[in-house]
């Protein structure tokens, strides 16, 4: 298993990465800043406690005044309770908006994933996307709820605290300030390293998620081929990589923590000795020293927590980068957007059917295509496809395995964009049609029939959300899906990953029903009979003939039985259509076609005898 397949974007400052969250924070800014103000007040109230102590030591304690001591004690208790109450209010202020913000970001990310082209999903491991939508968003919510607020609160508390310390005894205050410069330099040094390790760990979590997902989805293959061991080894290696990175993070954090707690403690010890000498000399009151040391101790947590807060901030910055890498991925423009008019190579306006002419069917003119991630130097997969499928006609597309048949069919609903040429549907350039309009016109049943964790009804109606119960029943009947009525809850039975498991043939028939339920103007079937037994194949064929009679269809065919569904056949070879004709004509005149239909190989010619002509 390779390490992360996604190149991390340029390393950039954590602040810049986190600032990108501002559009999400804007609507909740009042509550956020309110919670910061409440927390700063609570934290500064805690700094008043040492001042009360100073008053008690120099006043009621020195004067042996019990009433004053009780008053002081009551004040300290009151301040403590107020501080706790205010921190409770802070949590109440941000908990709900932050949960909503996380849900909103997750929703936006999901929407973006749905809008991104198939080519994007080809490049990205699903685990990478999954971990960004779960783990990274959770880290961001945690950061916004707690560390962000406390970075500000603790920063302000430290400033106010040092103000109090310097005002009480400036020379002791300066002793405590001595470690600040080395601390800042060393923190910056560790932070830059921690940021890299945090990013690497999050990418590795994505890779590990991909591996686990593939192992779960492919469990049958792993078991059937006895691949548990090699999968376990791949998993161990991947998780070992993650463990190494996490340990590196822990080491960096430990070093940072040691510095952040060690240096101030040394300074505090020096201030204690220096202050005690001053008290002994009578230059400082005992109450002032107690207040000074209490204030310094009250600042320990805000200072110590900085290391932890900075590390979480770096993790959140890495998460923000990872989430925005997906959010920033370009989504193909729609023709109704103004830029569409500047689309390169699309200078001609969209044309409808000419007056007086009937619909034109599907027309490929000089269509070229190469996959965006195809290795450099390899020729285009489609080098100039010219093909006309007349209205109402069914055309079978035949070609050697890997010749690009499936690829050509994906260009029709624009799952991939053709890199050259033009495809027209009833005279309209498909590149000018908005995708939702185009996909309502072109319906597809893929070779791999994917069902979702939903009822039979929902799976089929996905093909035409506005379809009626009658349409549903007709589509099920057409695709020979009578078996659904015998399922425990009929068409309301849950199927798919989390539901009842269906056989390959049953899944394929449901996918067919989904493709035909909306009575599409254009139908694309990618080897629709591949997983059916001979008996069912005959039934589906008969039903398909009815559907195909009323639509214009492109059917990828591997076998003579599928070809027999079509009016004409086109042969795809080396990126072009090299022959078009009826099955009989091509069998008679085209050696390559004869060879393909016979299944190829040495006995091909003998088998040709058996092909229905
Ligand atoms: N997403 C992709 N990215 C890069 N190359 C791809 C992608 N999908 C397919 N290919 C390559 O494009 C070529 C054509 O694939 P395609 O699936 O269109 O062939 P096909 O004619 O339908 O094959 P088959 O008859 O085996 O189904 C293959 O070499 C394949 O490796």
Residues 287 and 386 in one domain: no
Which pLDDT does position 378 carry in this prediction? 84
pLDDT band at 47 (very low <50, low <70, confident <90, very high): confident
Torsion of CA 438, 439, 441, 444, to 10 degrees: 140
Torsion of CA 415, 419, 422, 425, to 10 degrees: 0
| Closest C-alpha residue for ligand 1 atom 18 | 404
Ligand 1 pocket residue status of 114, Cβ below 6 Å: no
Q: Among the atoms of ligand 1, which is closest to the Cα of residue 374?
A: 4
Ligand 1 pocket residue status of 394, Cβ below 6 Å: no
Which pLDDT does position 202 carry in this prediction? 86
Distance, in Å, from the CA atom of 266 to the CA atom of 268, rounded to the nearest integer, reads 5
The tens digit of pLDDT for each residue in 311-368 reads 888 889 999 999 999 999 988 776 554 444 444 344 444 444 444 455 788 999 999 9
The tens digit of pLDDT for each residue in 398-452 reads 998 889 999 999 999 988 989 999 999 988 898 888 888 888 889 888 877 888 8
Residues 276 and 131 in one domain: yes
Q: How far is the CA of 397 from the centre of ligand 1 (A)?
A: 14
- Whether 351 is covered by a domain: the verdict is no
Residues 408 and 315 in one domain: no
When pLDDT is averaged across residues 366-381 and rounded to a whole number, the result is 87
Has residue 6 got a pLDDT over 60?
A: no
Residues 431 and 570 in one domain: yes
Q: Is the dihedral of CA 290, 296, 298, 304 positive or negative?
A: negative
The tens digit of pLDDT for each residue in 540-554 reads 777 677 777 778 999
Q: How far is the CA of 596 from the centre of ligand 1 (A)?
A: 18
Torsion of CA 247, 253, 254, 256, to 10 degrees: 150
Which pLDDT does position 531 carry in this prediction? 62
- Whether 529 is covered by a domain: the verdict is yes
Three-state DSSP at 387 gives: strand
Which pLDDT does position 297 carry in this prediction? 83
Residues 387 and 268 in one domain: no
The domain of 471 spans: 359-581
Ligand 1 pocket residue status of 406, Cβ below 6 Å: yes
Least confident of 27-31, 290-294, 580-584: 290-294
Which pLDDT does position 343 carry in this prediction? 43
Has residue 499 got a pLDDT over 70?
A: no
Which pLDDT does position 11 carry in this prediction? 55
| Helix then strand then coil, % of the chain, to nearest 5 | 65, 10, 25
Residues 39 and 187 in one domain: yes
- Whether 599 is covered by a domain: the verdict is no
Residues 299 and 403 in one domain: no
Least confident of 81-85, 106-110, 529-533: 529-533
Distance, in Å, from the CA atom of 352 to the CA atom of 360, rounded to the nearest integer, reads 9
CATH, residue 155 = 1.20.1560.10
- Beta-sheet strand order (sheet of 362-369): 382-389, 362-369, 420-425, 428-429
Ligand 1 pocket residue status of 401, Cβ below 6 Å: yes
Q: How far is the CA of 518 from the centre of ligand 1 (A)?
A: 28
- Whether 11 is covered by a domain: the verdict is no
Alpha helices in 116-179 (DSSP H): 118-123, 126-131, 137-145, 147-168, 170-177
- Residue 194 exposure: Cα atoms within 13 Å on the Cβ side: 27
552-556/394-399 β-pairing: parallel
- Whether 155 is covered by a domain: the verdict is yes
Residues 271 and 387 in one domain: no
Has residue 147 got a pLDDT over 80?
A: yes
Q: What is the DSSP string of 365-379?
A: EEEEE--TTSPTTPP
Residues 367 and 449 in one domain: yes
Residues 165 and 300 in one domain: yes
5, 399, 405: residue to mutate for ligand 1 pocket, most atoms within 8 A of CB? 405
The tens digit of pLDDT for each residue in 192-206 reads 888 889 889 988 888
- Greater confidence (516 vs 3) lies with 516
Q: Among the atoms of ligand 1, which is closest to the Cα of residue 403?
A: 21
| Mean of the per-residue pLDDT values of the chain | 82
| Closest C-alpha residue for ligand 1 atom 29 | 402
Phi-psi region at 453: left, alpha or beta (left = phi > 0; alpha = psi -120 to 50): beta
Distance, in Å, from the CA atom of 500 to the CA atom of 95, rounded to the nearest integer, reads 39
CA angle 264, 266, 269 (to 5 degrees): 110
- Whether 539 is covered by a domain: the verdict is yes
| Closest C-alpha residue for ligand 1 atom 26 | 401
Ligand 1 pocket residue status of 404, Cβ below 6 Å: yes
Asked if 395 contacts 389 with a C-beta cutoff of 8 angstroms, the reply is yes
Residues 320 and 454 in one domain: no
The whole-model pTM stands at 0.68
Q: How far is the CA of 557 from the centre of ligand 1 (A)?
A: 15
Which pLDDT does position 2 carry in this prediction? 42
- Whether 339 is covered by a domain: the verdict is no
Ligand 1 pocket residue status of 405, Cβ below 6 Å: yes
Quote the crossing angle between the two packed helices 147-168 and 300-327, to the nearest 10°: 150
Name the residue with tokens 């409440």.
Answer: 38
Ligand 1 pocket residue status of 381, Cβ below 6 Å: yes
Which pLDDT does position 382 carry in this prediction? 92
CATH, residue 481 = 3.40.50.300
Q: Among the atoms of ligand 1, which is closest to the Cα of residue 122?
A: 1
Distance, in Å, from the CA atom of 536 to the CA atom of 525, rounded to the nearest integer, reads 17
Has residue 74 got a pLDDT over 80?
A: yes
Residues 363 and 312 in one domain: no
- Greater confidence (452 vs 505) lies with 452
Has residue 92 got a pLDDT over 80?
A: yes
Predicted complex ipTM: 0.95
When pLDDT is averaged across residues 567-586 and rounded to a whole number, the result is 91
Ligand 1 pocket residue status of 407, Cβ below 6 Å: yes
Which pLDDT does position 347 carry in this prediction? 44
- Whether 338 is covered by a domain: the verdict is no
When pLDDT is averaged across residues 229-236 and rounded to a whole number, the result is 84
pLDDT band at 369 (very low <50, low <70, confident <90, very high): very high
Which pLDDT does position 354 carry in this prediction? 47
Ligand 1 pocket residue status of 371, Cβ below 6 Å: yes
As for how many domains the chain has, the answer is 2
| Closest C-alpha residue for ligand 1 atom 9 | 407
Per cent of the chain over pLDDT 70 is 90
């Amino acid at each position: 298993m390779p390490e992360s397949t996604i190149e991390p974007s340029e390393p950039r400052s954590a602040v810049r990465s986190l600032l990108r969250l501002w559009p999400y924070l804007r609507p909740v800014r009042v509550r956020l800043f309110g919670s910061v103000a409440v927390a700063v007040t609570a934290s500064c109230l805690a700094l008043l406690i040492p001042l009360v102590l100073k008053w008690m030591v120099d006043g009621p304690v020195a004067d042996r005044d019990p009433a004053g001591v009780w008053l002081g004690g009551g004040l300290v208790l009151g301040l403590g309770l107020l501080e706790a109450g205010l921190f409770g209010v802070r949590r109440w202020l941000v908990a709900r908006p932050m949960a909503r913000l996380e849900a909103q970001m997750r929703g936006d990310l999901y929407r973006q994933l749905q809008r991104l082209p198939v080519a994007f999903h080809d490049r990205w491991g699903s685990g990478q996307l999954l971990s960004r939508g779960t783990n990274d968003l959770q880290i961001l919510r945690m950061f916004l709820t707690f560390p962000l607020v406390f970075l500000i609160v603790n920063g302000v508390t430290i400033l106010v605290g040092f103000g109090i310390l310097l005002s009480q005894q400036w020379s002791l205050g300066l002793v405590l300030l001595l470690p600040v410069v080395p601390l800042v330099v060393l923190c910056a040094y560790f932070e830059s390293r921690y940021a890299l390790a945090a990013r690497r760990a999050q990418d590795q979590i994505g890779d590990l998620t991909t591996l686990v997902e593939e192992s779960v989805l492919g469990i049958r293959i792993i078991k059937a081929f006895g691949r548990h061991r090699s999968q376990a080894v791949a998993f161990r290696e991947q998780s070992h990589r993650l463990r190494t990175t996490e340990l590196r993070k822990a080491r960096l954090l430990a070093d940072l923590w040691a510095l952040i707690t060690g240096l101030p403690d040394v300074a505090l010890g020096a201030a204690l000795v220096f202050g005690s000498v001053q008290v002994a000399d009578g230059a400082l009151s005992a109450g002032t020293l107690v207040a000074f040391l209490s204030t310094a101790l009250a600042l320990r947590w805000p200072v110590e927590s900085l290391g932890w807060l900075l590390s979480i901030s770096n993790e959140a910055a890495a998460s923000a980068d990872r989430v925005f890498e997906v959010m920033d991925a370009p989504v193909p423009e729609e023709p109704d957007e103004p830029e569409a008019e500047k689309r390169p190579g699309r200078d001609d306006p969209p044309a409808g059917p000419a007056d007086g002419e009937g619909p034109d069917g599907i027309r490929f003119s000089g269509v070229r295509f190469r996959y965006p991630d195809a290795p450099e130097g390899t020729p285009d997969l489609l080098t100039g496809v010219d093909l006309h499928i007349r209205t109402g006609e069914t055309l079978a597309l035949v070609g050697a395995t890997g010749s690009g048949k499936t690829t050509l069919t994906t260009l029709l609903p624009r799952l991939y964009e053709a890199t050259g040429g033009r495809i027209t549907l009833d005279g309209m350039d498909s590149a000018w049609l908005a995708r939702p309009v185009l996909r309502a016109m072109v319906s597809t049943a893929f070779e791999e029939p994917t069902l979702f964790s939903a009822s039979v009804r929902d799976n089929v109606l996905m093909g035409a959300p506005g379809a009626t119960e009658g349409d549903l029943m007709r589509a099920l009947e057409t695709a020979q899906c009578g078996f659904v009525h015998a399922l425990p809850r009929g068409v309301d039975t849950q199927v798919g990953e989390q539901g009842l498991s269906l056989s390959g043939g049953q899944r394929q028939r449901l996918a067919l029903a989904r493709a035909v339920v909306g009575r599409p103007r254009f139908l694309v079937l990618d080897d629709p009979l591949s997983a059916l037994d001979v008996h069912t194949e005959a039934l589906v064929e008969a039903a398909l003939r009815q559907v195909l009679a009323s639509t214009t269809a492109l059917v990828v065919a591997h076998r003579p039985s599928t070809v027999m569904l079509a009016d004409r056949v086109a042969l795809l070879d080396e990126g072009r259509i090299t022959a078009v004709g009826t099955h009989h004509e091509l069998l008679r005149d085209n050696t390559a076609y004869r060879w393909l239909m016979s299944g190829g190989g040495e006995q091909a010619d003998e088998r040709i005898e058996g092909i229905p002509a």
